[in-house]
């Protein structure tokens, strides 16, 4: 090798960024290979001990096309990675000698007037049938009912609005099960077409959801066009978005005028849009960058919540706030609660857990609930409904104070 090239390669090694890994080492693979586990098979459910374990399990079980559709994200997947990495930039400030003995009792939450056992929910995600061809999202309905948490069904779920409604349970904390319905600009026959979005399909879907007993709509505002997703494109797996479309706040007004149900805008990533949503009378807002699947370089919910907190903290009093994207640990939930978020969602982990059916989804919910209580207790939180803001130490680069 020539001296210059040699020097360059040495420099490259010296400056090489640490290789990014999708999931931290929870000891899962070491453990599995010490048993008689064979790669390429679904590990035993009892061996799933962390939310990220389900990602590994799904990667073994699903074929590449299906796993890639769940896992895919936009562009170079920097937002996807940031969603998972951002939490480590935010330290906790644990307070000791606080009586946390009643913390468990503070896990339940009232959101939009309904009662749930924990401040977590199953985010809307399409094509549950990839993980579980027969029962698909029916498993989400069952597990959400058994664990008394909120499920927000996706418009492009594998099961129809009516099939999901028929699966609802009658005996939950709210009496009959409460579900929300995601809605978006619908495309005729799910075919991609330029701007020519067929609104009558959307109105029809909304009517059907209302008739089926949905309690609120979650209106996806962060899919005005098709997104660049190489990982899924490799298998010719397309999105359900138009190439471009006229998604506007005027349309939000029109949607609201067509239903008596609350309409929650999903995909807020700036304080400006949070304020606009409040001005437009949104009953709640949903902070999300769609798990990094739509616009590349859009911020994580932690960064967005902090931007709102710094620039317009009143928003958290004016409306209830939901958030998702990259949430994988109890501490992630606790950090968002500290910033004023009320309900925290997960997308991919539930899709992965569905490889195990209802039991897998239930186990994931139980893991999260346990972690939230353990982590909050360790940090000296006495009431999950009043997690103090100063529990989190936010880095200066998060401090985007805007001038109006
Ligand atoms: C496979 C998949 C399909 C999704 N489909 C939809 C959808 O149809 N509508 C929507 O608003 N969001 C959709 N999302 C985004 C989720 O609602 C949620 O915002 C995201 O998954 C949260 O990030 P996480 O996967 O890191 O938890 C989808 C996400 C995944 C992973």
Q: How many residues does the chain have?
A: 404
Q: Which atom of ligand 1 is nearest to 326's Cα?
A: 26
Instruction: Give the count of domains, the chain.
Output: 1
Confidence (pLDDT) at 237: 87
Alpha helices in 225-357 (DSSP H): 230-233, 249-257, 271-279, 301-311, 315-318, 330-338, 348-353
Choice from 23, 125, 345, 355 to test ligand 1 binding pocket (greatest atom count within 8 A of CB): 125
**CA distances, 402 to each of 65, 338, 356 (Å):** 42, 21, 46
Is residue 256 in a domain? yes
Q: Ligand 1 atom closest to Cα of 327?
A: 27
Q: Which residues line ligand 1 (CB under 6 A)?
A: 69-70, 83, 123-126, 154, 156, 182, 220, 266, 288, 290-291, 293, 324-327, 346-348, 351
**pLDDT, position 268:** 98
Confirm whether 53 is domain-assigned: no
- Closest approach atom of ligand 1 to CA 157: 8
Helix (H) or strand (E) holding 152: strand 150-153
pLDDT at site 242 = 63
* Secondary structure letter of residue 1 according to DSSP: -
Question: Which residue's CA is the nearest one to ligand 1's atom 21?
Answer: 347
Question: Domain containing 98: what range?
Answer: 91-395
Q: How far apart are CA 3 and CA 221, in angstroms?
A: 54
105: its two tokens: 């009792």
State which ligand 1 atom lies nearest to the alpha carbon of 325: 23
| 26 within domain boundaries | no
Would you tell me the crossing angle of helices 138-147 and 358-378 to the nearest 10 degrees? 40
In a domain, 404, yes or no: no
Per-residue pLDDT, 225: 80
- Pocket residue to mutate for ligand 1, from 67, 154, 265, most atoms within 8 A of Cβ: 154
Q: 240 C-alpha vs ligand 1 centroid, how far in Å? A: 12
Residue at 114 is within a domain: yes
Does the residue 364 lie in any domain?
A: yes
Distance (Å, whole) CA 235 – CA 131: 16
Helix (H) or strand (E) holding 165: helix 161-166
For residue 69, the ligand 1 atom closest to its alpha carbon is: 1
Block residue for tokens 């309905």: 141
Most ligand 1 atoms within 8 A of CB, residue of 268, 285, 290 to mutate = 290
CA distances from 47 to 53, 54, 59, 210, 218 (A): 8, 10, 15, 40, 34
Report the alpha-carbon distance of residue 261 to residue 258 in Å, rounded.
9
CATH number at residue 360: 3.20.20.70
**Token pair of 134, please?**
């027969």
19, part of any domain: no
- Domain membership of residue 288 (yes or no) is yes
Q: Can you give the pLDDT of all 404 residues of the chain as single tens digits? A: 444 445 545 555 555 567 899 999 999 999 999 999 999 999 999 999 999 999 999 999 999 999 999 999 999 999 999 999 999 999 999 999 999 999 999 999 999 999 999 999 999 999 999 999 999 999 999 999 999 999 999 999 999 999 999 999 999 999 999 999 998 876 543 333 333 467 888 888 899 999 999 999 999 999 888 889 999 999 988 776 666 677 899 999 999 999 999 999 999 999 999 999 999 999 999 999 999 999 999 999 999 999 999 999 999 999 999 999 999 999 999 999 999 999 999 999 999 999 999 999 999 999 999 999 999 999 999 999 999 999 999 887 777 766 54
Distance CA 205, CA 196 (A): 17
Q: What is the pLDDT of residue 102?
A: 98
What pLDDT sits at residue 188?
44
C-alpha 375 – ligand 1 centre gap (Å): 26
Q: How is residue 26 written in tokens?
A: 């929870």
Question: For residues 78, 123, 346 and 249, what is the CA-based torsion angle, rounded to 10 degrees?
Answer: 40
């Amino acid at each position: 090798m020539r001296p210059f090239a040699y020097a360059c390669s040495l420099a490259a090694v010296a400056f090489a960024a640490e290789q990014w890994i999708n999931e931290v080492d929870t000891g899962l693979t070491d453990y599995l290979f010490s048993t008689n586990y064979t790669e390429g098979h679904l590990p035993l459910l009892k061996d799933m001990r962390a939310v990220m374990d389900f990602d590994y399990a799904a990667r073994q079980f699903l074929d590449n096309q299906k796993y890639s559709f769940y896992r895919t994200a936009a562009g170079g997947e920097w937002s996807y990675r940031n969603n998972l990495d951002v939490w480590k930039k935010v330290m906790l400030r644990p307070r000791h000698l606080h009586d946390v003995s009643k913390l468990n009792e503070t896990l339940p939450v009232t959101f939009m007037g309904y009662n749930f056992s924990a401040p977590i929910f199953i985010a809307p995600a399409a094509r549950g049938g990839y993980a579980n061809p027969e029962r698909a999202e029916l498993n989400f309905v069952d597990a959400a009912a058994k664990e008394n948490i909120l499920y927000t069904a996706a418009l492009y779920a594998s099961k129809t609005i009516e099939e999901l409604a028929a699966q609802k349970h009658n005996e939950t904390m709210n009496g009959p099960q409460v579900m929300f319905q995601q809605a978006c600009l619908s495309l005729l026959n799910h075919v991609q077409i330029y701007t020519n979005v067929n609104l009558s399909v959307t109105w029809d879907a909304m009517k059907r959801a209302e008739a089926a007993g949905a309690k609120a709509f979650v209106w996806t505002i962060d899919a005005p066009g098709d997104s660049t997703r190489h990982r899924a494109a490799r298998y010719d797996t397309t999105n359900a978005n138009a190439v471009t479309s006229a998604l506007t706040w005027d349309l939000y007004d029109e949607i609201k005028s067509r239903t008596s149900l609350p309409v929650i805008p999903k995909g807020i990533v700036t304080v400006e849009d949070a304020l606009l949503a409040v001005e437009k009378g949104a009953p709640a807002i949903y902070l999300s960058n769609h798990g990094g699947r739509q616009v590349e370089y859009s911020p994580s919910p932690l960064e967005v919540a902090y931007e709102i907190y710094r620039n317009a903290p009143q928003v958290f009093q004016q409306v209830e706030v939901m958030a998702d994207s990259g949430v994988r640990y109890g501490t992630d939930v606790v950090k968002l609660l500290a910033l004023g978020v009320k309900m925290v969602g997960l997308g991919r982990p539930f899709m992965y857990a569905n490889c195990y059916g209802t039991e897998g989804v239930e186990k994931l919910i139980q893991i999260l609930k346990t972690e939230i209580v353990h982590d909050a207790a360790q940090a000296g939180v006495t009431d999950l409904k009043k997690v103090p803001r100063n529990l989190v130490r936010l880095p200066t680069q998060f401090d985007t104070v805007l001038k109006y």
